[in-house]
Amino acid sequence: MRERSSLREGIRITTPTHDLAAVLNTLGIETAAVVGHSIGTAGLVLSQFWPDAPPGKHSFPMRNAVMSGYGRATIVVEAGEHSGARIQARQAVAHGRPVILTDLVVRANRWPADLIGRPGVHVAHGTAEVMTIVEDIIAASNEVDELLAFALR
């Protein structure tokens, strides 16, 4: 399902089965630029649910899966044994995304033991270490982007 509205009415893109890049490609360069600028300045609402869909027990784990795939990394600073953060961290590992767990989360729960030692899973001892890991993740991502840009020339 795909919905597109005119620029005069504002842009509303509904794409439960398409990715945003594919939809932007169908809008044309000028419209895609406006959408891109709008997302860059106002933000983006990303959901697999319609805006009027009520929250439900099943919707939160589904939302966590979307966020873990969309985000560059998942950082868990506080979580319980059965929290949504636990679900998102597991999904992030499944998506191949980095996960940063604070040592407080690791000490307070059993579930981090299943993730520690897996590729991309980091345990941080304090805010400064979280930030160092984030900077390393961003630098590695930028390096990959530069290599891809060079290869595609």
How much is the average pLDDT of 102-126?
A: 97
pLDDT digits (tens, 9 = 90+) for 72-109: 899 999 999 998 899 999 999 999 999 999 999 999 99
Note every long-range contact of 127-132, with CB atoms under 8 Å and residues 24 or more positions apart, other chains counting.
Answer: 130/75, 130/77, 130/100, 130/102
**pTM (global) more than 0.85:** no
Reduce the DSSP state of residue 45 to 3 states and report it: coil
Q: What is the amino acid identity at position 2?
A: R
Bridge partners of 102, per DSSP, are 124
Average pLDDT over residues 9-26: 49
